[in-house]
Amino acid sequence: MADVKIRRMTWLDVEEVTKVEEASFAIPWTKEAFMNEMLRNEQAVYFVAVHDKRVVGFVGVWTIVDEGHITNIAVLPELRGQGIGNQLLAELVAFAKSKGLVGLTLEVRVSNVGAQKLYEQFGFMQAGRRRRYYQDNNEDAYIYWAKLGSESE
Protein backbone atom coordinates (compact mmCIF):
# COMPACT_ATOMS: atom_id res chain seq x y z
CA MET A 1 0.00 0.00 0.00
CA ALA A 2 2.10 2.88 -1.31
CA ASP A 3 -0.41 5.66 -0.73
CA VAL A 4 -0.25 5.73 3.06
CA LYS A 5 0.92 9.01 4.59
CA ILE A 6 2.42 9.10 8.08
CA ARG A 7 1.98 12.33 10.05
CA ARG A 8 1.78 13.59 13.62
CA MET A 9 -1.52 12.86 15.31
CA THR A 10 -3.70 15.71 16.58
CA TRP A 11 -6.74 15.73 18.81
CA LEU A 12 -8.86 15.85 15.65
CA ASP A 13 -7.73 12.27 14.91
CA VAL A 14 -8.88 10.85 18.25
CA GLU A 15 -12.24 9.54 17.00
CA GLU A 16 -10.66 7.53 14.17
CA VAL A 17 -7.70 6.39 16.27
CA THR A 18 -10.15 5.08 18.87
CA LYS A 19 -11.83 2.99 16.14
CA VAL A 20 -8.48 1.45 15.17
CA GLU A 21 -7.75 0.79 18.85
CA GLU A 22 -11.13 -0.87 19.41
CA ALA A 23 -10.62 -3.10 16.37
CA SER A 24 -7.18 -4.13 17.60
CA PHE A 25 -7.21 -4.75 21.34
CA ALA A 26 -9.28 -6.78 23.82
CA ILE A 27 -9.13 -3.95 26.37
CA PRO A 28 -8.88 -0.81 24.23
CA TRP A 29 -7.98 2.64 25.40
CA THR A 30 -10.95 4.98 25.49
CA LYS A 31 -11.51 8.10 23.44
CA GLU A 32 -10.99 10.08 26.66
CA ALA A 33 -7.62 8.39 27.22
CA PHE A 34 -6.44 9.40 23.74
CA MET A 35 -7.78 12.94 24.19
CA ASN A 36 -5.82 13.13 27.44
CA GLU A 37 -2.70 11.97 25.61
CA MET A 38 -3.14 14.69 22.98
CA LEU A 39 -4.06 17.60 25.24
CA ARG A 40 -2.49 16.94 28.64
CA ASN A 41 0.46 14.54 28.37
CA GLU A 42 3.50 16.56 27.34
CA GLN A 43 5.57 13.36 27.11
CA ALA A 44 3.21 11.76 24.56
CA VAL A 45 3.82 11.84 20.81
CA TYR A 46 1.65 9.93 18.35
CA PHE A 47 1.76 9.36 14.62
CA VAL A 48 -1.09 8.24 12.38
CA ALA A 49 -1.15 6.39 9.07
CA VAL A 50 -3.67 7.95 6.70
CA HIS A 51 -5.09 6.22 3.62
CA ASP A 52 -7.83 7.83 1.51
CA LYS A 53 -8.25 10.58 4.14
CA ARG A 54 -8.93 7.94 6.82
CA VAL A 55 -6.77 6.97 9.80
CA VAL A 56 -5.87 3.30 9.34
CA GLY A 57 -3.15 2.96 11.98
CA PHE A 58 -1.24 4.74 14.69
CA VAL A 59 1.72 4.50 17.04
CA GLY A 60 2.49 6.34 20.25
CA VAL A 61 5.47 6.93 22.49
CA TRP A 62 6.09 8.55 25.84
CA THR A 63 9.45 10.29 26.07
CA ILE A 64 10.90 9.88 29.54
CA VAL A 65 14.20 11.71 29.96
CA ASP A 66 16.33 10.12 27.18
CA GLU A 67 14.23 7.01 26.52
CA GLY A 68 10.96 6.29 24.79
CA HIS A 69 8.24 3.88 25.88
CA ILE A 70 6.06 2.78 22.98
CA THR A 71 2.53 2.84 24.35
CA ASN A 72 0.69 1.21 21.47
CA ILE A 73 0.85 0.49 17.78
CA ALA A 74 -2.12 -0.71 15.77
CA VAL A 75 -3.35 -1.07 12.20
CA LEU A 76 -6.90 -1.85 11.13
CA PRO A 77 -7.17 -5.66 10.92
CA GLU A 78 -8.17 -5.66 7.26
CA LEU A 79 -5.03 -3.69 6.31
CA ARG A 80 -2.44 -5.62 8.31
CA GLY A 81 0.43 -7.26 6.47
CA GLN A 82 0.81 -4.39 4.01
CA GLY A 83 3.74 -2.63 5.67
CA ILE A 84 1.77 0.07 7.48
CA GLY A 85 3.04 -0.98 10.90
CA ASN A 86 6.54 -0.94 9.48
CA GLN A 87 6.06 2.62 8.18
CA LEU A 88 4.66 3.76 11.53
CA LEU A 89 7.53 2.22 13.48
CA ALA A 90 10.10 3.68 11.06
CA GLU A 91 8.61 7.15 11.59
CA LEU A 92 8.67 6.68 15.36
CA VAL A 93 12.28 5.48 15.39
CA ALA A 94 13.34 8.43 13.20
CA PHE A 95 11.52 10.80 15.57
CA ALA A 96 13.16 9.21 18.62
CA LYS A 97 16.62 9.55 17.06
CA SER A 98 15.93 13.18 16.12
CA LYS A 99 15.08 13.90 19.76
CA GLY A 100 18.29 12.28 20.96
CA LEU A 101 16.61 9.35 22.67
CA VAL A 102 19.08 6.56 23.44
CA GLY A 103 16.56 3.72 23.56
CA LEU A 104 13.01 2.56 23.03
CA THR A 105 11.09 -0.04 24.99
CA LEU A 106 7.71 -1.75 24.75
CA GLU A 107 5.75 -4.77 25.92
CA VAL A 108 4.31 -7.31 23.51
CA ARG A 109 2.15 -10.37 24.06
CA VAL A 110 4.11 -13.63 24.15
CA SER A 111 1.65 -14.95 21.54
CA ASN A 112 2.03 -12.00 19.14
CA VAL A 113 4.81 -13.41 17.01
CA GLY A 114 4.03 -11.10 14.07
CA ALA A 115 4.59 -7.99 16.18
CA GLN A 116 7.74 -9.48 17.69
CA LYS A 117 9.17 -10.03 14.20
CA LEU A 118 8.36 -6.43 13.26
CA TYR A 119 10.13 -5.08 16.35
CA GLU A 120 13.13 -7.33 15.79
CA GLN A 121 13.50 -5.89 12.25
CA PHE A 122 14.05 -2.52 13.94
CA GLY A 123 16.72 -3.85 16.30
CA PHE A 124 14.52 -4.54 19.31
CA MET A 125 15.71 -7.40 21.48
CA GLN A 126 13.88 -9.35 24.12
CA ALA A 127 15.03 -8.15 27.56
CA GLY A 128 12.63 -9.78 29.98
CA ARG A 129 9.14 -10.97 30.66
CA ARG A 130 6.26 -9.48 32.63
CA ARG A 131 4.14 -12.24 34.14
CA ARG A 132 0.35 -11.95 33.74
CA TYR A 133 0.74 -8.49 32.17
CA TYR A 134 -2.42 -8.44 30.07
CA GLN A 135 -5.63 -8.00 32.05
CA ASP A 136 -7.97 -9.64 29.54
CA ASN A 137 -6.43 -13.11 29.81
CA ASN A 138 -3.40 -12.77 32.14
CA GLU A 139 -1.04 -13.47 29.25
CA ASP A 140 2.63 -12.70 29.83
CA ALA A 141 4.37 -9.92 27.94
CA TYR A 142 7.90 -9.85 26.60
CA ILE A 143 9.79 -6.65 27.29
CA TYR A 144 11.66 -5.45 24.23
CA TRP A 145 14.41 -2.81 24.10
CA ALA A 146 16.20 -1.14 21.21
CA LYS A 147 19.29 0.98 21.60
CA LEU A 148 19.29 3.95 19.25
CA GLY A 149 22.35 5.49 17.70
CA SER A 150 22.50 9.01 16.37
CA GLU A 151 21.83 9.69 12.68
CA SER A 152 25.57 10.33 12.16
CA GLU A 153 26.64 6.85 13.33
For residue 151, pLDDT over 70 is answered with no
AA identity, residue 117: K
Read off the pLDDT band of 153 (50, 70, 90): very low
Catalytic residues: 107, 119
As a whole number, mean pLDDT of residues 80-106 equals 96
**Given CA atoms 101, 103, 107, 113 in this order, what sign does their dihedral have?**
positive
Q: Encode pLDDT of 44-85 as tens digits.
A: 999 999 999 999 999 999 999 999 999 999 999 999 999 999
Q: Encode pLDDT of 5-56 as tens digits.
A: 999 999 999 999 999 999 999 889 999 999 999 999 999 999 999 999 999 9
- In order of their start, the domains of the chain are 5-147 (3.40.630.30)
Element (H, E) at 37: helix 31-39
Distance of CA 53 to the CA centre of its chain: 20
- Whose CA is closest to 93, among 82, 80, 102, 83? 102
